[in-house]
A and B are shown apart, each in its own frame.
Chain A
Amino acid sequence: MVAYRKAHLEQLESEAIHVLREVAAQFERPVLLFSGGKDSIVVVHLARKAFWPGRIPFPLLHIDTGHNFPEALEYRDWLATHLGVDLLVRTVQDSIDRGRAVEETGPTASRNALQTVTLLDAIRELKADAAIGGARRDEEKARAKERFFSHRDAFGQWDPKGQRPELWSLYNGRHGQGEHFRVFPLSNWTEMDVWQYIAAERLELPSLYFSHRRPVFERDGMLLAETPFIQLQPGERPKERVVRFRTVGDATCTGAIESPAATVDEIIHEIAALRITERGGRSDDRRSEAAMEDRKRQGYF
């Protein structure tokens, strides 16, 4: 019977594939939220497996803050072309231009929170009834209680106290008019699982994830990349260092770490020894103790 034992990655993969197929079967117009980050890359790869030899039966949707690292965009376009899937892009700039959102000002301005407006508008415009994301429960405390199939009301809001119970592998995606679901196939994965899977499946990632030289400066104990999107404050002097990113989000709030890890295996070794969570490098979570929960309630990813 030993041969039938399933290693943890196989179990996680099978679970995620099951969830993705449920989405295709239960919803009419799902979209896969794609950021160019490693988690959404893994979700796309799993979707590829779930519907093979058919194509992924839903489009990718990228909510573009306009503050991206160019490496992430290049990767995004390459992937969509190679998989032959539709890639839809909706921009925060467009939401601002149409008066749907107002740009933050000041040196710590970020468009991260504005993404919520663009995302909810896109969901309404596309009449999407499910939006698949790469979020994991281990990322942040509020996410620990997230369901695989997470209900959003007609205003896109999450009600953490009124969540549907989710039992066995029975996922209830039934919903009323205008409501939608966020679906998280990687719910049970940890950062380490994702990296192990990337290694095992030999997936290629945007170069940002690997060690490189780049001018960065320190703010609130974080290393931020020098980009045209960030206004430097007095005393902040970018200096070239050897860094890599653990997440690839909006360039204004994604912190780098100093690291010589240049391959997936080196990264795995490094994570095994690391003492800071990957979201610990994100200033958006640091705004208050319940930052993530507040954003999620309003319809954030």
Chain B
Amino acid sequence: MTHSNLALDMRRQEEPANGERASYAYRDMDLLRFTTAGSVDDGKSTLIGRLLYDTKSIFEDQIEAIHVASKRRGDHTFDLALLTDGLRAEREQKITIDVAYRYFATPRRKFIIADTPGHIQYTRNMVTGASTADLAIVLVDARHGVLTQSKRHGFIAALLGIPHVLVAVNKMDLVDWSEEVYRGIVEEYSAFAQKLDIQNLVFIPISALKGDNVVDRSEKMPWYEGGTLLHQLETVNVGADRNLLDFRFPVQYVIRPHQDFRGFAGRVVSGTIRPGEEVVALPSGIPSRVREVATYDGPLEEAAAGDAVVITLEDEIDISRGDMIVRKNNVPTVDARFEAMLCWMGDTPMDRSIPYVIMQTTRTTKGIVGRLVYRIDVDTLHREDAETLALNEIGRVEITTAQPLFFDPYRANRSTGSFVVVDPFTHVTVAAGMIRGTVQTAERLRPELRAGRPVSPNVVRPAAGVPRAEREARNGHQAAVVWLTGLSGSGKSTIAHEVERRLFEVGCQTAVLDGDELRHGLCGDLAFSAADRHENIRRVGEVARLLFERGAIVICPLVSPFRDDRDRARTLLPGGRFIEVHVQCDIDECRRRDPKGLYARADRGEIPEFTGVASPYEPPESPELVLDTQALSQEQAVENILEYLRSQGIIAG
């Protein structure tokens, strides 16, 4: 049934006879949501005012209103910040107190700004603004350098999984456009950011007040060769971090206009789905097939992350709001116990005796915070023991829910990994949470947790004997694990051995743990089933860790197709020392290269569950490095890795 058969169709305009339509010029724009954070005097409102002003997004009556407001205040300059400080209370205090949303567009993109206040009591607003952002602008006042507040903003951006962080070093006009001042801030902030999980960190020296490097290039800072702030915003790759692998469809609403139609309305939050594909409904686990992916505009051949659709199934299954439709072979964790990072937003502190309401995807259930593993000091990033979480505090907790939730780790899926906590009496949203995983996983990986002692996931029991730090000091470089993942034939081994050769030549301690080699010995008992692959990677990860503790730069070229396995290997090491490199190459090109004749054998059915042929490959969500071996020469690929190691201070520059 398509909408044209429906008598109830809305009245629509006639299709114009001649094809030219002005509206088409705007149809192809995409959308970038970003958040801005800065302290009271960092000039954040001025920066936003400047972006709006210079992109001609401000109308004459708004400009006029500001002139009037400025004059009334006895201020005769044109205050750009007044454009964005909306509420009366803020105008009186001259500070922004709540998340405000602003809009502007250039011919390339539409932008949604979540403008959040930066001072300490409003961490909750920063978290709110960050939750929907693809990019964060952190403002640093060039005169004051990196303050704890700027660090906090970076931490929250990383915590909320924002892939791109742009540090705008503002007020360069007040430090005489000094390159030295700028470089100092870049160095200090980069060192701090290493401890965080930020995929892409960019610095730009600007003056929001004067407009330098915001929309137009600055003539005052010839030493800066990068693009302007707007250029970054226009060109940063959005959607690259979208999860298109794990199909998750939380059922939002059941549509049943008559006996013959039973559709499940909702948004595909990740992955893709087509008619005919096998699915299961959670929690029942009952399988079926997709009959149709329906929309008002007609059925779709495929729906992808972000699409609001109605799914109908081949079989009559009892499914209601809060259930989830997923693929048979790719299901989320179903569990009533999980670990999460929790940001407390309520005025009254967290109470571990109250069953709160937990809202996750379209599911609502009761839940109790069973344990506060640690509280994190957002300024120093130190973990501390605590009894509770108060307003604006962030901690790691264990939650037990009345009904199981269907979730993925937040890192892998921002939609199924996020939840809010609601006070059962006042109905106010009191916390936002990001799921890390099941409690069981955490306990298995780190048995010391069972003793109830808060322990950093990144600290490994100290080995007896010579500590790593002493080894690193003598070696003259830091230890690290460089994990190369990618399809068979993508070039991992070749690159790995060449990187090792180059490191060896400058005196580094190195080791290569080659997947093929290990499978002849250490892992000779394992085949290629999913379970065996997990075990294979677990062993390699553990061996890599042992060598790492001995001070080596360990290079691991392994197909390692599953994200969870790689993430587990990552958790064995301190932050910043696990370098995931995605060696990228089209399957067709790998097949053409086929250096070991494996694809040919897989196609003949001789190798079951061969990655890329009969078994999935899950590309990293946010690898430290991506090497496209179709675009890069082998030499360039090797150089990129070495350059990354230098930039992180692992080897000398």
Contacts and interface: CB of A to CB of B under 8 A. Distances in A.
Bind each other: yes
Interface of A: 1, 4-14, 17-18, 21-22, 24-25, 44-45, 48-55, 78-79, 82-84, 137-138, 141-142, 144-145, 160-161, 163-170, 172, 174-176, 187-188, 190, 192-193, 195-196, 199-204, 263-266, 268-269, 274-277, 280, 289-290, 293
B265 to A, nearest CB: 6
B366 to A, nearest CB: 13
A5 B30 contact: yes
Contacts of B305: 4
Contacts, number: 233
Given A54-B255, A145-B100, A188-B112, A170 B418 contact: yes
Given A18-B252, A164-B429, A53 B26 contact: no
B415 interface: yes
B10 A52 contact: no
A50 B422 contact: no
A49 B310 CA distance: 10
Given A1-B244, A165-B99, A204-B10, 19 more contacts: A8-B29, A11-B31, A53-B261, A55-B8, A79-B11, A161-B87, A166-B128, A167-B128, A192-B26, A199-B22, A202-B12, A264-B23, A268-B22, A268-B26, A276-B59, A280-B62, A289-B65, A289-B91, A293-B86
Given A25-B253, A161-B98, A170 B420 contact: yes
Given A11-B31, A190-B105, A200-B27, A4 B304 contact: yes
Interface in B230-249: 239-240, 242, 244
Interface of B: 1, 3, 6, 8, 10-16, 21-23, 26-31, 59-62, 65, 68-69, 72, 84-89, 91, 97-103, 105, 109-110, 112, 124-125, 127-128, 131-132, 239-240, 242, 244, 252-253, 255-257, 261, 263, 265-267, 272, 294-297, 304-308, 310, 321, 345, 357, 359-360, 362, 414-415, 418-420, 422, 427-429, 432
Given A7-B27, A188-B112, A204-B13, A53 B257 contact: yes
Given A21-B265, A53-B1, A268-B22, A190 B103 contact: yes
A202 B97 CA distance: 40
B265 A51 contact: yes
Contacts of A13: 308
Nearest to B5: A53
A253 B603 CA distance: 73
Nearest to B96: A145
Contacts of B427: 172, 174-176
A48 B62 CA distance: 35
A175 to B, nearest CB: 6
Nearest to B113: A144
Contacts of B102: 138, 144
Contacts of A21: 252-253, 265-266, 308
Interface centre among B21, B84, B97 (most CB of A within 10 A): B21
Between B28, B68, B100, the greatest number of chain A beta carbons within 10 A of the residue's beta carbon is seen for B100
Given A6-B30, A161-B97, A204-B12, A280 B59 contact: yes
Contacts of A166: 128, 429
B30 A200 contact: no
A51 B127 CA distance: 32
Given A160-B87, A275-B59, A25 B252 contact: yes
A98 to B, nearest CB: 32
30 contacts: A8-B29, A8-B109, A11-B306, A14-B308, A17-B308, A25-B362, A48-B296, A52-B255, A53-B257, A141-B87, A142-B87, A145-B87, A160-B87, A160-B89, A165-B125, A169-B267, A169-B415, A170-B359, A172-B420, A174-B422, A199-B21, A200-B23, A201-B12, A202-B13, A264-B13, A265-B21, A268-B26, A276-B61, A280-B62, A289-B69
Nearest to B238: A5
A187 B103 CA distance: 11
A13 to B, nearest CB: 8
B98 A145 contact: yes
B249 to A, nearest CB: 12
Nearest to A193: B110
- Which of B110, B304, B306, B359 counts the most chain A CB atoms within 10 A? B110
A259 B100 CA distance: 33
A167 B60 contact: no
A83 to B, nearest CB: 6
Contacts of B362: 25
Contacts of B59: 274-277, 280
A267 to B, nearest CB: 9
A192 B105 CA distance: 10
A160 B69 contact: no
A137 B103 contact: yes
Nearest to B64: A280
B258 to A, nearest CB: 9
B23 A167 contact: no
B29 A280 contact: no
A290 B427 CA distance: 29
Given A165-B124, A290-B88, A82 B252 contact: no
Given A7-B28, A25-B362, A165 B429 contact: yes
Contact of B294 (A53, A176, A280): A53
Nearest to B69: A289
A54 B103 contact: no
A44 B8 CA distance: 13
A53 B419 CA distance: 30
Contact of A145 (B11, B86, B297): B86
A172 B252 contact: no
